[in-house]
């Protein structure tokens, strides 16, 4: 790569082609600037010196305050010269120097004089300079001139004043707003650019007044707008008006749509594109409205201008996310763009095709992409890999060809980020598509045979250790893992040892052979590898340390504490006689402010974060509850909900609650954080009022002894409920505690405390809490194999709904089941939709649901609900949830 920041003059000494700025030096140029003070000004020489100063500034050279002031004063002397070229340079130089407020006064009078000069161009330039350097107070003095300038018959003067207005509006809006009439007049100007600038300014002045913007748009869409640039602005303002007019999405009634459509026939490509883009971005746009816009974009796809091709494919790419069917007509043109020289265009084309393609075109598409992948940069490849991952999740039956594609690109050259993206994708596919598991794991095994990235190798080895033993033939992975012990660096070797031990612990048949391999690792040259081998051999093979399960748990169980907390505790631990106690590590993750939690979005994560996924959270909850003797006889934990916030963000005490559902019990785990450094809370308890949850009876509560600042803790309340039924209710909560003042200097709490209460939000237990989301990869097979014995079918009227999609979403959330095969997405403007759901009901009963929605009249939604499960009471219960929801 070229070095961007080396000064230009360092690198060429070619006599014949030397730079005019060769050897330029700030001090010398500042000396030269003294010519500005000469009584007999040499305009040519002065221009040259200004050019040198400009060059220095452009090279990132900075002037000290004193230097800048000196140059500025000297430059102001040049106003005496009558040379036009020099005057133009002076204007530029003053703008570049941006003098400070107390210096501005020096040039103000000269500039004011120029502002009223008979030479038009002096006026234009003086306006621009003054607006750049002036502040509010001076502005009121020159306001009169600026207003005149806006309607000046010289377009350059008018434009200068208008563009200045756009800038001044940011700092002194009240002044510019007074110019409305003049700006309005300028909008009617015959000069194209004046109209463009005036329109931009007028819109900014009125942007908060919806009615005024609407009027402006109405008048201009009828009249003639002269420049394509202004026309583009008008299109943008029009779509803003349409957006704000909002609710009326009925086709035909949309205001201004005809105007947008007429712009599709404009002679300027810029206007056509802007109109097409505006149409595609309309809320609830119909296919009839979309068609003409898509047609012009399709034409642009084969334009000779790369910018047009890029703009078109970028817009179509966006349309493909919401209206994939509308874009399919462009697929042939898009396919030819795969070989476009501009790689940005090619990548956009590919990702659009991946979105619009149907199940039958997947193979053909993959073939084309294979050729394309070899000649694009990694950053583009990552985009493609992500698109393929989404495609595979959309068409799980096509996993074979998509997985093969991923594995083949995994074998090719590529950087870390790219390889990581592929590996992450394969891991996600393995997790979400059970059929893809075995082949996916083998692909990963082949990859680590020749993987240059230690991080990826260790991550894959860990993943293999977790998933491999659960496959039908775990032994076939051993060879790949043991090869690592011979061929890799110490970090990977240590990982491989752990993975081997994992297989040994999980698969009894393999244990003796794994031990043989582990024994060989005892002679490794690296301490860590030998230590791990010794540990595993002695623990798994020995008799100490309790039952076999205890031993496995000790070796492979998670630490039971969040890693962040463990890290903090370890950092705080000072080496002493007393050993570090892992039980002293707080178990609850600090409750984050809501905004932060929402930020990461729904992007699936691959290897980077598998242990933090839902299953392991459930595991850690289960372990946490088991460690409390009172809950030991509750049986197996069925489900733990996501934390529900009971306080606003940034309050004194942050509390969220996790609902743990057991067969006959429910436990509320209140995670509390004290955010006040000067307080220590003791005997923290939540008083739960269950008067609106009659079928629940409180068994006991487990208070939290102490809650110091910023160290989260939990308190629990347990209820008994009818066995196996989805009992619902509403609970109101009050946090009760003793508060003690803490001396901030010593950190010690006072002995005496005061009892206090803190009202929390109400908590509801809903039917969805009794259903666990479990997906199936092939819904039809699962449905057929379940059989119609316990099927229950009924029809429901859902009443008037905002849209079909909203109705589908509401029912999915009500039931808390897992949508299958992407059926939760409702194509826009469709009149009917089928949604497939699956899950497990309390009592471990599998449930499959088929929802058929239809629009009955303009907004009324009707729904047919078919439920299949292994237990007819469960099928009835699902109907009950819908009937009472």
Partner 1 sequence: MILAVLFANAEGNILIERFHGVPAEERLHWRSFLVKLGADNLKGVKNEELLVACHKSVYIVYTVLGDVSIYVVGKDEYDELALSEVIFVITSAVKDICGKPPTERVFLDKYGRICLCLDEIVWKGYLENTENDRIKRLLRLKPPTEF
Nearer to partner 1, 47 or 669 (CB): 47
The tokens for 863 are: 């729904």
Pairing mode, if any, of strands 792-800 and 704-707?
unpaired
User: What are phi and psi for residue 674, nearest 5 degrees?
Assistant: -95, 120
With binding defined as CB under 8 A, does residue 240 bind partner 1?
A: no
Gap between the Cα atoms of 200 and 150, Å rounded: 13
When binding is defined by CB under 8 A, the residue of 17, 102, 413, 577 that contacts partner 1 is 17
When binding is defined by CB under 8 A, the residue of 72, 111, 115, 128 that contacts partner 1 is 128
Nearer to partner 1, 163 or 693 (CB): 163
Site string for partner 1, 861-880 (x = CB under 8 A): --------------------
Nearer to partner 1, 601 or 629 (CB): 601
When binding is defined by CB under 8 A, the residue of 78, 94, 233, 865 that contacts partner 1 is 233
With binding defined as CB under 8 A, does residue 87 bind partner 1?
A: yes
Gap between the Cα atoms of 130 and 252, Å rounded: 50
| Residues ≥6 apart with Cβ < 8 Å to 681 | 653, 672, 674, 706, 707, 708, 737, 738, 739, 740
Query: At 767, is the secondary structure helix, strand, or coil?
Result: helix
With binding defined as CB under 8 A, does residue 35 bind partner 1?
A: no
Gap between the Cα atoms of 277 and 238, Å rounded: 12
With binding defined as CB under 8 A, does residue 88 bind partner 1?
A: yes
Nearer to partner 1, 30 or 191 (CB): 191
Binding to partner 1, residues 200-219 (CB under 8 A): 200
With binding defined as CB under 8 A, does residue 139 bind partner 1?
A: no
The total of other beta-carbon atoms located within 10 Å of residue 28's CB is 11
With binding defined as CB under 8 A, does residue 7 bind partner 1?
A: yes
Site string for partner 1, 372-411 (x = CB under 8 A): -----x----------------------------------
Residue 868 half-sphere exposure toward CB, CA atoms < 13 A? 15
Nearer to partner 1, 197 or 355 (CB): 197
Query: At 328, is the secondary structure helix, strand, or coil?
Result: helix
With binding defined as CB under 8 A, does residue 311 bind partner 1?
A: yes
With binding defined as CB under 8 A, does residue 433 bind partner 1?
A: no
Gap between the Cα atoms of 266 and 229, Å rounded: 12
Site string for partner 1, 147-186 (x = CB under 8 A): ------xxxx--xx--x--xx-------------------
Q: Which stretch binds partner 1 (CB under 8 A): 32-40, 232-240, 402-410, 655-663?
A: 232-240
Applying CB under 8 A, the site for partner 1 has a residue count of 71
| Residues ≥6 apart with Cβ < 8 Å to 274 | 231, 232, 235, 236, 263
When binding is defined by CB under 8 A, the residue of 26, 42, 59, 590 that contacts partner 1 is 59
With binding defined as CB under 8 A, does residue 63 bind partner 1?
A: no
Q: Which stretch binds partner 1 (CB under 8 A): 3-11, 134-142, 330-338, 863-871?
A: 3-11
When binding is defined by CB under 8 A, the residue of 145, 256, 257, 273 that contacts partner 1 is 273
When binding is defined by CB under 8 A, the residue of 151, 161, 191, 320 that contacts partner 1 is 191
With binding defined as CB under 8 A, does residue 415 bind partner 1?
A: no
Q: What is the DSSP string of 572-583?
A: HPPPSSSPP-GG
With binding defined as CB under 8 A, does residue 746 bind partner 1?
A: no
With binding defined as CB under 8 A, does residue 318 bind partner 1?
A: no
Nearer to partner 1, 15 or 577 (CB): 15
Gap between the Cα atoms of 383 and 399, Å rounded: 19
Shortest CB 413 distance to partner 1, Å: 17
With binding defined as CB under 8 A, does residue 58 bind partner 1?
A: yes
Shortest CB 323 distance to partner 1, Å: 21
| Residues ≥6 apart with Cβ < 8 Å to 75 | 36, 50, 90, 93, 94, 97
Q: Which stretch binds partner 1 (CB under 8 A): 231-239, 327-335, 478-486, 794-802?
A: 231-239
Rounded to 10 deg, the angle between the 511-521 and 527-541 helix axes is 150
The total of other beta-carbon atoms located within 10 Å of residue 466's CB is 15
Q: Which stretch binds partner 1 (CB under 8 A): 68-76, 228-236, 593-601, 798-806?
A: 228-236
List Cα–Cα distances, 742 to 164, 316, 747, 757, in angstroms.
58, 61, 6, 18
Q: Quick one: residue 43, left, alpha or beta (phi over 0 = left, psi -120 to 50 = alpha)?
A: alpha
Query: At 371, is the secondary structure helix, strand, or coil?
Result: helix
Nearer to partner 1, 155 or 440 (CB): 155
Gap between the Cα atoms of 500 and 505, Å rounded: 9
Residue 113 half-sphere exposure toward CB, CA atoms < 13 A? 7
User: What are phi and psi for residue 730, nearest 5 degrees?
Assistant: -125, 135
Shortest CB 306 distance to partner 1, Å: 6
Binding to partner 1, residues 107-126 (CB under 8 A): 119-122, 124-125
Gap between the Cα atoms of 631 and 196, Å rounded: 73
End-to-end CA distance of the chain: 63
Shortest CB 159 distance to partner 1, Å: 6
Nearer to partner 1, 306 or 827 (CB): 306
Site string for partner 1, 785-814 (x = CB under 8 A): ------------------------------
Contact 827, 848 (CB under 8 A): no
When binding is defined by CB under 8 A, the residue of 108, 344, 777, 873 that contacts partner 1 is 344
Contact 352, 316 (CB under 8 A): yes
User: What are phi and psi for residue 390, nearest 5 degrees?
Assistant: -65, -40
Shortest CB 311 distance to partner 1, Å: 5
When binding is defined by CB under 8 A, the residue of 30, 229, 811, 878 that contacts partner 1 is 229
With binding defined as CB under 8 A, does residue 45 bind partner 1?
A: no
Shortest CB 313 distance to partner 1, Å: 11
């Amino acid at each position: 790569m070229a070095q961007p920041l080396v000064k230009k003059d360092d690198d060429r000494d070619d006599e014949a082609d030397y730079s005019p700025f060769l050897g330029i030096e700030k001090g010398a140029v500042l000396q030269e600037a003294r010519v500005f003070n000469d009584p007999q000004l040499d305009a040519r020489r002065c221009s040259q010196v200004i050019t040198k100063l400009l060059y220095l500034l452009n090279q990132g050279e900075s002037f000290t305050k004193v230097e800048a002031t000196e140059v500025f004063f000297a430059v102001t002397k040049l106003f005496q010269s009558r040379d036009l070229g020099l005057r133009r340079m002076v204007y530029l130089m003053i703008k570049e120097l941006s003098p400070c407020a107390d210096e501005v006064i020096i040039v103000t009078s000269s500039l004011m004089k120029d502002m009223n000069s008979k030479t038009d161009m002096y006026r234009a330039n003086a306006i621009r300079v003054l607006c750049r350097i002036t502040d509010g107070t001076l502005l009121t003095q020159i306001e009169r001139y600026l207003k005149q300038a806006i309607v000046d018959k010289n377009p350059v003067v008018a434009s200068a004043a208008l563009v200045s207005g756009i800038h001044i509006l940011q700092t002194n809006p009240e002044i510019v707003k007074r110019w409305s009439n003049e700006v309005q007049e300028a909008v009617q100007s015959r000069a194209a650019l004046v109209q463009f600038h005036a329109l931009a300014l007028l819109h900014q002045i009125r942007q908060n007044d919806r009615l005024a913007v609407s009027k402006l748009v109405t008048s201009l869409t009828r009249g003639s707008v002269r420049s394509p640039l202004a026309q583009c602005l008008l299109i943008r303002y029009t779509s803003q008006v349409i957006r704000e007019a909002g609710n009326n999405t009925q086709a035909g009634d949309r205001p201004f749509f005809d105007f947008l459509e007429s712009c599709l026939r404009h002679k300027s490509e810029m206007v056509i594109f802007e109109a097409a883009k505006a149409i595609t971005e309309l809320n609830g746009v119909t296919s009839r409205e979309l068609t003409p816009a898509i047609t012009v974009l399709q034409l642009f796809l084969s334009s000779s201008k790369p910018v047009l091709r890029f703009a078109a494919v970028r817009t179509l790419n966006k349309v493909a996310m919401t209206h994939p069917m509308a874009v399919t007509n462009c697929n042939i043109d898009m396919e030819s763009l795969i070989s476009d020289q501009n790689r940005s265009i090619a990548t956009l084309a590919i990702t659009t095709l991946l979105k619009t393609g149907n199940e039958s075109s997947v193979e053909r598409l993959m073939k084309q992409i294979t050729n394309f992948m070899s000649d694009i940069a990694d950053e583009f490849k990552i985009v493609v890999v992500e698109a393929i991952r989404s495609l595979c999740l959309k068409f799980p039956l096509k996993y074979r060809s998509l997985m093969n594609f991923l594995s083949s690109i995994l074998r090719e050259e590529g950087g870390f980020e790219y390889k990581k993206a592929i590996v992450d994708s394969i891991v996600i596919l393995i997790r979400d598509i059970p059929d893809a598991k075995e082949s996916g794991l083998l692909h990963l095994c082949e990859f680590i045979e020749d993987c240059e990235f230690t991080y990826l190798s260790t991550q894959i080895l860990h993943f293999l250790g977790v998933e491999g033993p659960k496959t039908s033939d775990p032994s076939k992975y051993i060879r790949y893992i043991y090869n690592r012990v011979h061929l890799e660096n110490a970090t990977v070797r240590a990982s491989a040892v752990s993975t081997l031990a994992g297989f040994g612990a999980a698969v009894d048949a393999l244990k003796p052979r794994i031990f043989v391999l582990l024994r060989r690792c005892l002679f490794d040259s690296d301490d860590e590898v030998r230590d791990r081998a010794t540990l595993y051999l002695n623990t798994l093979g020995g008799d100490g340390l309790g039952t076999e399960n205890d031993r496995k748990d000790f070796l492979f169980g998670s630490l039971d504490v969040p890693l962040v907390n463990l890290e903090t505790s370890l950092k705080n631990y000072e080496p002493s006689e007393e050993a570090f106690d892992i039980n002293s590590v707080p178990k609850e993750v600090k409750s984050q402010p809501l905004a932060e939690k929402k930020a990461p979005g729904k992007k699936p994560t691959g290897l980077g974060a598998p242990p933090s996924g839902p299953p392991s959270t459930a595991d850690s909850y289960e372990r946490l509850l088991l460690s409390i003797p009172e809950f030991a006889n509750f049986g197996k934990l069925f489900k733990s909900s996501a934390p529900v916030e009971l306080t606003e963000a940034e309050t004194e005490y942050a509390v969220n609650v996790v609902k743990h559902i057991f067969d006959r019990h429910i436990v509320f785990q209140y995670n509390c954080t004290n955010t006040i450094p000067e307080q220590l809370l003791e005997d923290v308890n939540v008083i739960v009022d269950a008067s609106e949850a009659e079928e629940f009876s409180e068994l006991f509560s487990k208070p939290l002894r102490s809650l110091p600042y910023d160290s989260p803790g939990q308190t629990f309340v347990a209820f008994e409920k009818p066995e196996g039924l989805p009992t619902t209710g509403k609970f109101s909560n009050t946090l009760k505690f003793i508060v003690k003042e803490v001396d901030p200097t010593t950190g010690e709490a006072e002995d005496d405390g005061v009892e206090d209460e803190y009202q929390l939000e109400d908590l509801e237990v809903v039917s969805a809490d009794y259903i666990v989301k479990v997906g199936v990869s092939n819904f039809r097979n699962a449905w057929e194999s379940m059989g119609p014995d316990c099927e229950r079918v009924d029809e429901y009227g859902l009443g008037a709904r905002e849209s079909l999609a909203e109705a589908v979403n509401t029912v999915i959330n009500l039931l808390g089941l897992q949508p299958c095969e992407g059926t939760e997405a409702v194509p826009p403007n469709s009149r009917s939709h089928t949604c497939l759901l699956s899950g497990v009901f309390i009592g471990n009963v599998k449930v499959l649901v088929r929802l058929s929605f239809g629009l009955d009249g303009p907004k009324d939604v009707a729904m047919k609900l078919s439920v299949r499960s292994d237990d007819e009471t469960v099928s009835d219960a699902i109907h009950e949830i819908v009937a009472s929801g």
